[in-house]
Amino acid sequence: MKFATFTLADARGAVLAHALQLPDGRLKKGTVLTEAELARIGAAGIETVIAARLEAADIGEDAAATRLGQALASPDIRAEAAATGRVNLYALADGLFTADHAAVDAINGADPGITLATLDHLTPVNAGRLVATVKIIPYAVAGAALDRALAIAGAPVIGIERYRPRRVGVVATKLPSLKASVMDKTMRVLADRLAPSRSRLSREVRTAHDEAAIAAGIASVLPVSDIVLVFGASAICDSDDVIPAAIRRLGGTIIRFGMPVDPGNLLLLGEIDGKPVIGAPGCARSPAENGFDWVLQRLIAGRVVSANEIAGMGVGGLLMEIGGRPQPREASKGPRRRIAAVILAAGRSTRMGANKLVATLDGRPVVAHVADAALASSAAEVVAVVGHEAERVRACLAGKALRFVDNPGHAGGLSTSLVAGIGAVCEDCDGAVVLLGDMPRISAAMIDRMIAAAEASAADAVIVATHGGRRGNPVLWPRCHFKRLMQATGDSGGRALIGELGDRVVAVELGEAAGFDLDTPAELAEAGGRTA
């Protein structure tokens, strides 16, 4: 690839390196310069451009990123379409993300212009989460360099070790100093920990804090459990303390006592009849991440956790709350952020041939299903953007406690409605969940789940609904991104911005509802609806 300053006469077919603001509009960087673009540039009085000219053996950035992304994809990881030399890869399953460190390094060593960034090895992920990104830095790379990277990517480099739903038995010991309410809370926190993997509590037994009672408790839960957890009323202090002694009494073995993760130092891992038994550290009663999570998640994913693996957790194992890290908190009882709901209901329904929003489904207009869900949710306000056949859509929503916003430019695409709706959100709202008016299966509970996810995430996190790990709608945008959203054009909405935000995108799996919309007469008929 030749990167240089070209005269306009020599620039035909080259790739523009820097955006140009011309009298008749902006010419984006990355544009392949045709005679038409060069005429526009010349008309503006510009005589030279900085550009890149691909050579015969070069592979363009998008083509190169696509090939490498597809090579890294698998049944559990999906590669998105390339844009500006970038391909994002997303999990299609819940589990532990895995990465071959040496292979990732080798791909990045194939050529400085080829980059692959991933999450840490064994990071817990949910379906829909961004796990890796391929970025081709220059506008093209040499074909030979790409071939070197592809040869490495031919073997498994990244993957997902899927969670396997487990039956988890619990033995909890009692002492006068431990309140029953604390033990009850421990079980609620545990249930939340098990939920992502769809594991369940098989049996809970509360016993005295002595060797014989604990052994009897373990023996009673072991037959109905795949993993046994022992929550001691007092922390394990020694490898001969009552909990490890109870494991040995039943013929079990102690794999490791003590781990280089803080909080979590006093974890014990044992085994009885091939089933893992964890002596939980005191921090396991808290919802904050700790060493207990690391071991439990790996066991649920089917990994055999060895003493050496635990011993190797020290790097990155300092999880204690320090000045530079905010204190964790339990999920709030209700959303504290004020989130608006914006319904995009201005489209022309060109594929339907008639206005799908006023079509009838289950005895109500399609758009009314979406509005009723938004109004029944905890959204602070509901805004409906109307345009095409605005009066008919208004009539379908008559009497509902929402605000209408007109979009006279609705023919310009989805983004025009997005801009109108975002611009109308009250200033005291912290964000907005954007709903499509033709998605009648989205419920109030689903909207609340997205708002709760926003409450539990970073202030700049975008919450995206997924179905089977694939991105869908709705999308919840925090206010900090409103300015960028207001610059959206065409029918892409905020899709490009989501692609740029990377790990600030949080996926919430809503199932089929997040991918169910009504675009054609056949889809409407299959759903049991009819046009108005």
* Residue extents of the structural domains in the chain: 2-53, 58-162, 167-311, 339-526
The domain 339-526: what is its CATH number? 3.90.550.10
Please report the pLDDT score of residue 472 as a whole number. Answer: 87
Q: What is the pTM (predicted TM-score) of this model?
A: 0.67
DSSP 8-state secondary structure symbol assigned to residue 262: B
Strand partners, 408: none
User: What is the C-alpha to C-alpha distance for residues 149 and 87, in angstroms, rounded to an integer?
Assistant: 15
The helix (H) or strand (E) run that includes residue 368 is helix 366-376
Please report the pLDDT score of residue 137 as a whole number. Answer: 92
Please report the pLDDT score of residue 320 as a whole number. Answer: 58
Neighbours of 74 (CB within 10 A): 15
User: What is the C-alpha to C-alpha distance for residues 86 and 65, in angstroms, rounded to an integer?
Assistant: 6
Please report the pLDDT score of residue 532 as a whole number. Answer: 67
Residue 267 CA, distance from chain mean position: 30
Topology of domain 167-311, CATH: Molybdenum Cofactor Biosythetic Enzyme; Chain A (3.40.980)
Please report the pLDDT score of residue 324 as a whole number. Answer: 38
Half-sphere exposure of 40 (CA within 13 A, CB side): 14
Please report the pLDDT score of residue 95 as a whole number. Answer: 95
Segment 165-191, tens digit of pLDDT? 999 999 999 999 899 999 999 999 999
CA distances from 346 to 132, 183, 453, 475, 525 (A): 36, 53, 28, 18, 22
With a cut of 70, which residues of the chain have pLDDT below it?
320-335, 491-492, 529, 532
Please report the pLDDT score of residue 511 as a whole number. Answer: 83
The domain 2-53: what is its CATH number? 3.90.105.10
In this structure, CATH architecture of domain 58-162: Alpha-Beta Complex (3.90)
